[in-house]
C-alpha cells in the first residue's frame, strides 16, 4: 500500500480539524501527506523510465547474413541459430558466439570490466556491448532469443525487484492508521455517551473538540519527519543525495556492505601504472614511453589512450607515426623515426618464455595489472603496466564502513579473479566474488538478504542495477554511474567520495535516535493533555497551546541535524551498536 493510501484516515481527520477552526493543523497534515504521495509517484515514474531506457543499450536493428546476402532486420526478430555481422564500432545486437574474425569488445555495461575484452573464434558476446575498432569483422551466431538476452534479463530483474522489494515504512506510518481510527472513535464516544447520559450539548461538544485537538498526531508526525528531512538536507549539502525519508531511516539499519569494483572502488579509467625497461635495451623510461606513446597515438583503444595520456602528463612530445596498423587482440605497429615499433599483448609479442621480460610480465599480471609489450625492430625493449586506479581514500572508507556496519564487507565484480583479488587486498576486503554477471550479483545479494543480512550495496553500472534493486539499500556513484543505476539506487554519492557513505550511515542512526526522543516528547504531551481533559477541565486555548507547543518543540529538536556540526560528528564514524 502506498504512503498516500496509508494517509487516508489522517486526511479525513485533518479535514475535521479544519472544520473546527483548527485550520493550520489540518492544513499542515494535508500538505505533508499530499507532498509525500506526489514524491512517491514521481519517483516511481522516473524509475520506470530508467528501466525502459535500458533497452536502448541493445540496437534496434542488426545485419543478418542470409543465403541471399546481408539484410538489415529488427533485433527482436532474430532467432537462435541466425548469424549476424557486427562491424567495428557497432553495438552487438544479440547474445551469441563468435564464428570467425577477432576483435575487442567493451562489455563494461554487462560485466563491469574496465578494459575491452579480446574476442576470438568461440568467444561469447552479449547484446548491447560495443565492438572495437579493429579492421576485422566479427560474425556472431545468435544463441539466445531477444527476450532472453542478458540485457533483457537485467530489465526483468530490475522490474521484479522494484515491484517485490518490501517497502520499509517509517515507524509512525505503521501505527498512524490505527491511532487515527482510535482517536476519532474516542472523540465520538466522548461526545455521544455524555449526551445519552443527559449532559448539556455545548460543554460536551467543547470537551470533545478539545480532546480531538490535544490527541491529534501532528506532533507525532513532525517527530519523525524533521529529523529525517534535516539529515537528508545535511547529507545533500555534503554530496550525498538520499531519495526519501524512508531511505534515510533504512541507511542506519544496514548490517552488511557490498561493493562493485570498477567505477566504485576504482576510478573506472585505465592508467599507466608502471614502466619497466628491459636491461640491455639501451633505452630509459622516458624514451620507452616516448616511442610507445608515439606508436599508440593514432589508436582509439583504451589502453592506447592510457599510454598517450601518461606521456602528456610527463610533458613528452609525441612523435609522428608512419605506416600505422592495428590488429584486434594483438596491438599496434608503426614506424617511429624510421624504426618499427610494436606495442601489444605479451601473447603476441613475447614468444620466448626465457626472455628477461617474461618474469616482469608475470609479476605485473600476478599483481592484477595488464601487461603491454613494447618491441623495437623485433626486439622486446620494455613492458608497460596498465591498471585501473584505486579511488583516493578507498581503503579508509571501506574500513570505516566495516566499522559502522559491524561486519566485514565483500566485493562483487564481473572482472577476473586476479584483478579483483589484488584490489581487494589493497582495500582490506577478504570476501571476493569475481567473474559475476548481473544476475549473479543479484543472486548473491538475495541470498544474503534471505540469511537475515541487511545489505548496503554500492555500485555504479548497468550491471549493478539488479543487485541495487534487490539490496536492502542501494547507493550509486554519481559521476560515473549509469542512468539506470542512479534511478534504481536509493541514494547517490554525487561527489563520488566514498568517505561520505559511513558518514551518512552514522547520520541516519543519529536521526533515528532523535526520532525516538521526539516520539517520547510528543507521546508525553499527548498523554498529559488527554488526561487533563478527561480527568479535569482543560480549557480549549490551553489545549491548543499545549498541542502547538509540543509540535514546535519536536520540530526544533529535529532541525538540529541541519547544523554543520552534525555532519562533522558523523564523519568521525562511530562503531556499530
The residues with which 326 forms a beta bridge, in sequence order, are: 332
Largest CA distance in the chain: 114
DSSP three-state, residue 240? strand
Distance CA 402, CA 323 (A): 54
Extract the C-alpha cell encoding 509.
Answer: 542512526
Q: Is 260 among the catalytic positions?
A: yes
84 neighbors 62 (Cβ within 8 angstroms)? yes
* Cβ neighbours of residue 315 closer than 8 Å, sequence gap 6 or more: none
Half-sphere exposure in the Cβ direction for 409 (13 Å, CA): 30
DSSP three-state, residue 577? coil
Distance CA 424, CA 426 (A): 5
* CA dihedral angle for residue 193, residue 198, residue 201, residue 203, rounded to 10 degrees: -80
120 neighbors 133 (Cβ within 8 angstroms)? no
Query: How many CB atoms sit inside 10 A of residue 197's CB?
Result: 8
Angle value at C-alpha 335, between 331 and 338, nearest 5 degrees: 155
DSSP three-state, residue 118? strand
Extract the C-alpha cell encoding 422.
Answer: 589484488
Distance CA 94, CA 144 (A): 7
The residues with which 385 forms a beta bridge, in sequence order, are: 274, 371
E strands in 320-378: 321-327, 331-336, 339-344, 370-376
**Cell 563468435 -> residue:** 98
Angle 394-405/500-535 helices, nearest 10 degrees? 30
Pick the catalytic residue: 95, 260, 460, 533? 260
498 neighbors 428 (Cβ within 8 angstroms)? no
Residue 142: name the closest of 164, 132, 160, 127 by CA.
127
Residues annotated as catalytic (active site), given as ranges: 260
Amino acid at each position: 500500500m502506498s504512503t498516500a493510501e496509508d494517509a487516508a484516515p489522517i486526511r479525513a481527520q485533518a479535514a475535521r480539524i479544519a472544520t473546527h477552526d483548527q485550520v493550520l493543523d489540518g492544513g499542515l497534515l494535508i500538505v505533508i501527506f499530499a507532498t509525500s504521495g506526489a514524491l512517491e509517484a514521481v519517483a516511481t515514474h522516473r524509475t520506470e523510465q530508467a528501466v525502459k531506457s535500458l533497452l536502448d543499450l541493445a540496437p534496434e536493428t542488426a545485419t543478418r547474413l542470409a543465403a541471399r546476402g546481408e539484410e538489415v532486420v529488427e533485433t527482436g526478430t532474430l532467432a537462435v541459430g541466425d548469424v549476424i555481422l557486427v562491424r567495428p564500432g557497432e553495438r552487438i545486437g544479440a547474445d551469441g558466439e563468435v564464428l570467425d574474425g577477432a576483435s575487442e569488445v567493451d562489455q563494461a555495461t554487462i560485466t563491469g570490466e574496465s578494459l575491452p575484452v579480446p574476442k576470438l573464434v568461440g568467444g561469447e558476446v552479449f547484446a548491447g556491448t560495443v565492438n572495437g575498432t579493429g579492421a576485422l569483422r566479427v560474425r556472431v551466431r545468435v544463441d539466445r532469443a531477444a527476450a532472453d538476452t542478458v540485457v533483457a534479463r537485467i530489465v526483468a530483474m530490475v522490474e521484479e525487484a522494484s515491484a517485490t522489494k518490501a517497502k520499509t515504512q517509517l515507524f509512525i506510518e505503521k501505527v498512524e492508521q490505527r491511532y487515527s481510527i482510535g482517536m476519532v472513535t474516542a472523540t465520538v464516544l466522548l461526545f455521544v455517551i455524555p449526551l445519552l447520559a443527559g449532559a448539556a450539548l455545548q460543554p460536551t461538544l467543547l470537551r470533545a473538540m478539545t480532546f480531538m485537538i490535544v490527541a491529534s498526531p501532528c506532533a507525532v508526525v513532525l517527530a519523525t519527519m524533521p529529523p529525517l528531512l534535516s539529515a537528508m538536507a545535511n547529507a545533500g549539502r555534503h554530496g550525498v543525495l538520499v531519495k526519501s525519508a524512508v531511505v534515510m531511516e533504512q541507511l542506519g539499519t544496514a548490517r552488511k556492505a557490498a561493493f562493485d569494483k570498477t567505477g566504485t572502488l576504482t576510478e573506472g579509467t585505465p592508467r599507466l601504472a608502471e614502466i619497466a625497461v628491459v636491461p640491455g635495451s639501451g633505452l630509459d623510461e622516458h624514451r620507452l614511453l616516448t616511442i610507445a606513446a608515439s606508436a599508440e597515438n593514432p589508436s582509439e583503444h583504451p589502453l592506447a589512450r592510457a599510454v598517450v595520456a601518461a606521456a602528456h602528463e610527463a610533458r613528452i612530445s609525441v612523435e609522428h607515426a608512419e605506416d600505422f596498423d592495428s590488429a584486434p587482440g594483438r596491438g599496434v605497429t608503426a614506424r617511429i623515426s624510421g624504426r618499427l615499433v610494436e606495442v601489444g599483448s605479451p601473447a603476441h609479442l613475447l614468444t620466448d618464455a626465457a626472455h628477461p621480460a617474461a618474469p616482469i610480465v608475470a609479476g605485473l599480471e600476478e599483481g592484477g595489472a595488464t601487461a603491454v609489450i613494447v618491441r623495437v625492430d623485433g626486439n622486446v625493449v620494455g613492458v608497460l603496466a596498465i591498471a585501473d586506479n584505486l579511488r583516493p581514500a578507498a581503503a579508509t572508507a571501506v574500513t570505516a564502513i566495516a566499522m559502522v556496519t559491524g561486519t566485514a564487507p565483500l566485493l562483487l565484480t564481473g572482472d577476473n579473479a586476479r584483478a579483483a583479488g589484488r584490489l581487494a587486498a589493497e582495500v582490506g576486503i577478504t570476501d571476493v566474488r569475481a567473474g559475476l554477471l548481473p544476475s549473479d550479483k543479484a543472486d548473491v545479494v538475495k541470498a544474503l538478504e534471505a540469511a537475515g543480512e541487511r545489505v548496503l550495496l554500492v555500485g555504479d553500472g548497468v550491471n549493478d542495477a539488479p543487485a541495487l534493486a534487490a539490496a536492502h539499500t542501494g547507493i550509486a556513484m554519481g559521476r560515473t554511474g549509469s542512468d539506470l543505476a542512479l534511478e534504481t539506487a536509493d541514494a547517490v554519492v554525487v561527489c563520488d567520495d566514498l568517505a561520505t557513505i559511513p558518514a551518512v550511515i552514522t547520520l541516519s542512526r543519529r536521526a533515528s535516535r532523535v526520532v525516538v526522543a521526539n516520539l517520547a516528547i510528543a507521546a508525553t504531551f499527548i498523554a498529559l493533555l488527554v488526561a487533563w481533559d478527561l480527568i479535569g477541565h482543560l480549557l480549549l486555548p490551553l489545549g491548543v497551546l499545549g498541542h502547538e507547543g509540543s509540535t514546535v518543540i519536536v520540530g526544533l529538536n529535529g532541525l538540529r541535524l541541519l547544523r554543520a556540526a552534525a555532519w562533522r560528528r558523523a564523519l568521525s564514524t562511530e562503531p556499530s551498536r
